[in-house]
Structure 1
Amino acid sequence: MGTAGRPAYDAYADWYEGFISGGGDYLRRVHATVTDLLGAGEGSCLDICCGTGAHASVPAGLGWTPVGVDLSGGQLRHARGRLPVARGVHPCFVGAFADWGHHPSVVVDERYADRSRSFDSWNTSGVRVRVGAWHLPLADLVNATVAAGLRLVRVVEAGPGGVPDLFGLLALRDR
């Protein structure tokens, strides 16, 4: 949460909309990863941490009906024009514990297990230094997915030079 119980991204929603909608290599890689992860299909596709809905066109273009969930009402204000949305708490996988300053080497420190909020980031002009984040170790994320009654189908990591900076998972609720 941000100040006074307000989600941190609310104060930066308009900035983030311009930032993420600007395109660039990272956005193209995210869209390629989502395309690879989902493939063509039909039915509902839940976009957890949907933010401004900037990725909604990808599952929609594959035949899915994307539905977004995010904690930030400010972000959802932008997302509503792109997909149906609901406001809810979601997990985050972020990397205050990872120093990407000497890419392709990435240094991971002891903060990987720290689940507290952090504004630490190797990128002093990025999203994390503005809004902070709560890290969720991968084991916790996968276990929360299974505990929610979802069946884990596939997990992907992607990044330049074989060093992942994207993580995605496909989980389905059996009917």
Structure 2
Amino acid sequence: MTAYDAIAEWYETSFLAGQREDPLAIRPIVRDLLGPGSGPCLEVGCGTGVHAELIRSLGRTPLGVDVSEGMLRYATDRLPAARGDAGALPFTTGSLPAVVAVMVHTDMPAYPAVLREAARVLAPGGVFVHVGVHPCFCGGFADRSDERAVVIRPGYREAGWTTASWTDQGLRDKVGAAHLPLPELLHAVLDAGLTFERFAEGGEPSPLVLAWRAKKSPDRLSNPVAPG
């Protein structure tokens, strides 16, 4: 997508430099929720591939899919990655033991469809890990000017795409963001045929990150049906 292509160099050379100390505790959250394993682990919305080393350190083989050619130019030295739509993954049904989505669900207006695709390509018993901005405390509706007390203004209950952002130091003011209130986000996971196993939050003093580990039931149909 053009917006992400346009910011790829800034993201790789400037934004990520400010994330080296991992202020949101993303790396330990991924390490804890994903855990050791073997075989391929697909990262949907892999961007420049910065999580590949962590996935590899867990014994897994990182693979990536992203829509942005600009981002993928930086990813090629970090992991095998293909340009593609996370809502139509180029993988066989039931072929992957693990899928992760790290800080990308706000980039995906059709995230429920992405979750259904993740469930489709997962093998029975396969693991899905989501790490994303906290839907309750981040967004254009969140006033974080005082880090000691987040003020939630009208807008949290309104699902959709917005260019409003609580900070001008990240991606959201540059490319916009999709928002789903917490119940809709969690229901989308259940509707995809995944079962929650564990949860985590990251960021201080109030959480900026919400994460979970879910599993595809061994007796679940390969193609979960979207609710009517």
Task: Please tell me the TM-score bracket, short chain as reference.
Answer: 0.7 to 0.9
1:20 and 1:27 in contact (8 A); partners too = no
Which has more helix, going by share of residues?
1
1:51 and 1:76 in contact (8 A); partners too = yes
2:49 and 2:78 in contact (8 A); partners too = yes
Rounded Cα–Cα distance in structure 1 between residues aligned with 2:23 and 2:45: 15
Matches within 5 A, 1:25-44: 25-26=21-22, 29-44=25-40
Equivalences, count: 169
Aligned-residue offset at 1:174:
4.1
Paired-residue identity, %: 40
Larger Rg: 2
Give the 3 Å change call, closer, same or farther, for CA 41–159 of structure 1 in structure 2.
same
Greater Cα shift, 136-145 or 126-135? 136-145
Counterpart residue identity of residue 68, structure 2: S
Aligned-residue offset at 1:31:
1.1
4+ residue runs over 4 A deviation:
none
> Which position in structure 2 is the counterpart of 1:88?
85
> Which position in structure 2 is the counterpart of 1:67?
63
> Which position in structure 2 is the counterpart of 1:98?
142
Aligned-residue offset at 1:53:
1.4
> Structure with the greater relative contact order (CA < 8 A, sep ≥ 6): 1 or 2?
2
- Structure 2 residues without counterparts, runs of 5 or longer: 88-104, 107-131, 134-138, 219-228
> Which position in structure 2 is the counterpart of 1:153?
197
TM-score, length-scaled by structure 2: 0.64
> Which position in structure 2 is the counterpart of 1:168?
211
> Which position in structure 1 is the counterpart of 2:186?
142
1:7 and 1:71 in contact (8 A); partners too = no
Counterpart residue identity of residue 214, structure 2: A
TM-score, length-scaled by structure 1: 0.80
